[in-house]
Amino acid sequence: MAIIGPGHDDPEYDNYDPAWKTQDTPFRRWLLDKLTEAGFAAAHDMAAATAPANRYNGLDDEDAASIALLASVTVEDVRAAHKADLAEWAREQELLDHPDLAVLDADLDRITRR
């Protein structure tokens, strides 16, 4: 079946970031831990597919409920982990946009551990 519109690897597709495949985020780590603890067989794949995209596309009620069910946690737990991830991402963006590289240098170790 032919794909209508740009493919996932097309640079014109604004909602796709190639880093999603390997991006290590706090929400991804949290999700992997919770799904693994719950005995979800495809925990790694689910975390890799779900977590980074929440930064760009948000986390709707249906997705939050599904994650909560699979991970054996509450929707509030999912929302809290999601919000913590967004807060860290906002901090990273502030540092990357800051013209004073000394501020960025102070936080490089944390960023490179991702």
Report whether pLDDT(32) > 90: yes
Q: Using a cut of 0.75, tell me whether the model's pTM lies above it.
A: no
Nearest to 103 by CA among 88, 92, 90: 92
> How many CB atoms lie under 10 A from the CB of residue 113?
7
Q: pLDDT tens-digit profile of 51-103?
A: 877 777 788 999 999 999 999 999 999 999 999 999 888 887 777 776 676 56
Residues 6+ apart with CB under 8 A from 77: 34, 68, 71
